[in-house]
Amino acid sequence: MKLTLVSTPIGNLGDITLRAIESLKLSDLVICEDTRVTKSLCQKLGIELKGQIISFNDHSDAKIPSLIKKIKASAFAVLVSDAGSPIISDPALPLIKACLDEDIIVDSNPGASSVVMALELSGLPSSPFTFHGFLSRTKGEIEKSLLHTSSLGGTHIYFESPHRIHQTVTLMKKSLPQAQVAICRELSKKFQSVYRGYVEELRLEDIEAKGEFAIVLYEETKKTALSSDVKGLVDKFLDKSTDKNLSKLLAALSDKKSKEIYEILLSRRS
């Protein structure tokens, strides 16, 4: 019993892999986001799908039990997304978890990735980086995400839609003006564009609001500033290094209660 995850091109048909083609040809069960998109892809590649083709999207969790039965009964089941990996900002995770719970082997045919491609084209530090998926649709949540990014420092990647890209850039100018950025549009497609520079230098009129976007942001990692309360506890501990003072300090830096920490310290002293 096995389910093979098959990555598909993110725009350029030439990015399909030989393994992906072979898996689609061998499949007797294809699970996909949109059957029309997958059928169109296979038609362009000259692949004749011989088995069942079933849709699975963000609203298909109720299908999981029946899909598990079909996967178990199939000779070669594959899972594909409309573009890219079935697991990157796509709905496959619940089904994959269910397969693993049922001891179904999960394999992967990797391929084109807009996350990796954006990172490569950004010219920004690649290690480590954090991928956040799509930004929220609300202004307040976007600002919250960007401020969190600013507090962490490092390289962060977001997806954004053409309808919200100008609003997001405006919010970036407010929250992260000194950050370095690469805004990647229509990756691997004919009109691929990359806008690089510091956030404060971006001009909305230069960014064509068409196609899909991947935003790569980089800020120098910042040292965490201690609050005055924590500084006071540090001074108190240094002045008088007792287990009680240490437990209060550690409690302020963690999610544990000082009493709990104090009891742990006492048990280790005995």
* Amino acid code (one letter) for 54: I
CATH 3.90.1150.10, applies to 2-109: no
In the beta sheet, which residues pair with residue 3? 77, 106
- Tens of pLDDT, residue by residue over 71-116, are 999 999 999 999 999 999 888 999 999 999 999 999 999 999 999 9
Region 114-219: CATH code: 3.30.950.10
Interatomic CA distance for residues 62 and 155, integer angstroms: 37
- Tens of pLDDT, residue by residue over 123-172, are 999 988 999 999 888 888 888 888 888 878 899 999 999 999 999 999 99
Position 59 scores a pLDDT of 83
Interatomic CA distance for residues 214 and 117, integer angstroms: 9
Position 58 scores a pLDDT of 83
Position 225 scores a pLDDT of 52
Interatomic CA distance for residues 244 and 265, integer angstroms: 9
Interatomic CA distance for residues 216 and 122, integer angstroms: 7
- Tens of pLDDT, residue by residue over 1-35, are 899 999 999 999 999 999 999 999 999 999 999 99
Pull the structure tokens for residue 22: 């072979």
Q: Tell me whether residue 101 is exposed, middle or buried, using C-beta atoms within 10 angstroms of its C-beta: 0 to 12, 13 to 18, 19 or more.
A: exposed
Position 148 scores a pLDDT of 82
- Tens of pLDDT, residue by residue over 210-251, are 999 999 999 886 655 556 666 666 666 656 678 777 877 777
Is-contact 41 22, C-beta < 8 A? no
Q: Which residue did the predictor score with more confidence, 177 or 89?
A: 177
Comparing 2-109 with 114-219, is the CATH topology the same?
no
Position 243 scores a pLDDT of 76
Position 16 scores a pLDDT of 96
**Per-residue DSSP letters for 144-194?**
HHHHHHHHH-EEEEEEE-TTTHHHHHHHHHHH-TT-EEEEEESTTSTT-EE
Give the percent of the chain with pLDDT over 90.
Answer: 67
Give domain limits for the chain.
Answer: 2-109, 114-219, 228-269
Interatomic CA distance for residues 40 and 176, integer angstroms: 41
Position 156 scores a pLDDT of 95
Pull the structure tokens for residue 23: 């898996």
The H-assigned helical ranges of the chain are: 18-26, 35-45, 64-73, 93-101, 114-122, 139-152, 165-175, 228-239, 243-252, 258-269
**pLDDT of 203 strictly over 90:** yes
Interatomic CA distance for residues 139 and 144, integer angstroms: 9
Interatomic CA distance for residues 218 and 246, integer angstroms: 36
Position 94 scores a pLDDT of 93
